[in-house]
Amino acid sequence: MTAALTGLFGILVAAPYGNHAYAGVCVLTGLCGFGLGGNIPIDASIVIEFLPQNRRWLLPLLSMWQPIGVVVNCAIAYGLVPRYRCNPALPACSAVAVGLECCTRGSNIGWRMLMVACGGISFTVFFIRFFCFNFLESPKFLLARGRDADAVRIVEQIAAFNRQPPPQLTLIEFEELDRQFPQQTTGAMNSKHTTLSVLAQGLNRMKNLKGLFRSRSLGYTTVLLWIVYMGDFWSFNLAGSFLPIILARRGAEQDVSVTETYRQYVYIYLPGILGTIMAAAMIELPGIGRKWTLVFGALVQGVSMAMYTQVTTLKASVGLNALEYIMQSFFNAVLYGFTPEVFPAPIRGSAAGLCSTWGRLAGIIAPIAARPYISGNSDGVLWLGVGGIFVSAFFLIFLPIETRKRAAY
C-alpha cells in the first residue's frame, strides 16, 4: 500500500501549476516521502521471519535495490530532463508581463515526465507485491497475539512451498502452552472491529513497545540504535541534498552540461550496488560480524566525505562522491538488516520503524542546519556530514549485542 501511495503522489507532483505550484510540489513531495518511509523499515522485518539462520546474510542484499533504483532514476532523468527543459536564462512566466518570452509549462516538462515515470514504476511495484506475491504474516507475531491456528496454517504453507513434509505441529499443543503460560500472549484480535476497538488495540500495542526495554541489554541497544540512526540519516541527508549541488557547481565552473552532470550521477550511484554486496560478505566474517562491519563502514564513509573537502578537479569530485556512496550503501545495508535481528518478533516491525523515525527527524533538521554553509565553499556542509556519521561510529562501538550466528527471536 505504501508503494501505491508513493506512486500516486509521485505522479501528482507533476500536476501543480500557477502561483501555488511550488507549495503544491512541496506538499506532494512530502507525501511521497510518507509513502516511501513505510516500506524501508518493514521489508527486512518481514523477510527475516522466513530466513533460516544460515541465510541471514541475504538481508543486506535487500538494500541493493536502493542504488539500483537511484541509477534507474538518474538514467531516466538523463534522457528526459536535459531534452525537455527551458533555457535557464528565461524567467518564469509568472514573473514577467504577458507577451514577453518566458519559460512556459509546455517547454519545461522534463522533470514532470520524470516524476510520472517514477510514479509509474512505484505503481508497478505495488501491483507486483499485491497481486503476484502472497506475503505471509510472521508466525512468531501471530503466536504473540494468541492466533495459534493462523500460525500453524502459515508454517504448513511455508513447508509446502519449500516442498518439505508438514511440521509436526498441532493446535492442541499451542493451546496447552497458552494454558501453562497465559501471560505470554496478548490476546487474539476480535473479528468485529469498531472505531473504538481499533483505537484501543492501537493504544495497547503502543504499550507493548515497553518490550524495547524489557532487559537492560535490549534497552541499552535500543537507545544506541536510535542515536546511530540519527547520525546516519543526518549524514545521509546532507550527502543526498548537497553533494549533487556541490558536484553541479564544480561542473559549472568547468562548463559541464546538464546532460553530462546526469551521466556523472550514474557513475556515482552505480557502484553503490557493490557496497551492498561487500556488506553481505563482511557480516559473516569471524571476529567481525555485524557490529564491527558497521563501525568500519561508518568510519570509511566519514573519511571519504572528509576527503571530498580537499578535491578541486571534477574527476576527483566524482570519484570521491562514488566512494562515499559505496560506503553509505554498505553501512545502510548492514544497519537495515541488523536492526530487525536485534528485536523480538512481536515488536520487531515497530522497533525498526521507531529507529527510522528518529533517523528521519534528524534528517529533516540536517539540511536546515547546513543551509547557511552552502553559500560559501561548502566545506562546512561536508564537515557536518562527517560529524554525523562519526557519531554513529562512536556509539556503535558500545553495542552489547552481536547477532552473527544467533537465532532471531
Q: Which long-range contacts (CB under 8 A, 24 or more apart) does 168-171 make?
A: none
DSSP letters of 203-236? HHHHHHGGGGGSSHHHHHHHHHHHHHHHHHHHHH
Q: Which of 44-58, 256-270, 282-296 is modeled with the greatest confidence?
A: 282-296
Residue 392 has pLDDT above 70, yes or no: yes
Q: Which of 241, 55, 314, 29 is nearest to 21 (CA)?
A: 29
Higher-confidence residue of 246 and 385: namely 385
Please determine, for residue 270, whether its predicted confidence score (pLDDT) is greater than 90. yes
Q: Rounded mean pLDDT of the chain?
A: 79
pTM over cut 0.85: no
The architecture (CATH level 2) of 215-409 comes to Up-down Bundle (1.20)
Using the predicted structure, report yes or no on whether residue 334 has a pLDDT greater than 90.
yes
- Cα–Cα dist 20/22, whole Å: 6
Q: Are 268 and 325 in contact (CB under 8 A)?
A: yes
Distance in angstroms (rounded) separating the CA atoms of residues 72 and 125: 14
Q: Kindly tell me if the per-residue pLDDT of 18 is higher than 90.
A: no
Give the count of beta carbons closer than 10 Å to the beta carbon of residue 199: 10
Q: Using 50, 70 and 90 to split pLDDT, how confident is the model at 37? A: low
* Cα–Cα dist 23/41, whole Å: 28
> Is pLDDT above 90 for 360?
no
Give the mean pLDDT of 283-288: 88
What cell does 383 get?
Answer: 564537515
User: In the prediction, which pLDDT does 232 show?
Assistant: 94
Distance, in Å, from the CA atom of 119 to the CA atom of 9, rounded to the nearest integer, reads 7
Burial class (CB in 10 A: 0-12, 13-18, 19+), 268: buried
pLDDT band of 326, cuts 50, 70, 90? very high
* Domain spans in the chain, listed from the N-terminal domain onward: 146-184, 215-409
Q: Among all chains, which residue has been given the C-alpha cell 550527502?
A: 239
**pLDDT band (50, 70, 90) for residue 179:** low
Between 168 and 128, the more confident residue is 128
Cα(128)–Cα(121) distance, rounded to whole angstroms?
Answer: 11
Q: Does 13 score more than 80 pLDDT? A: no
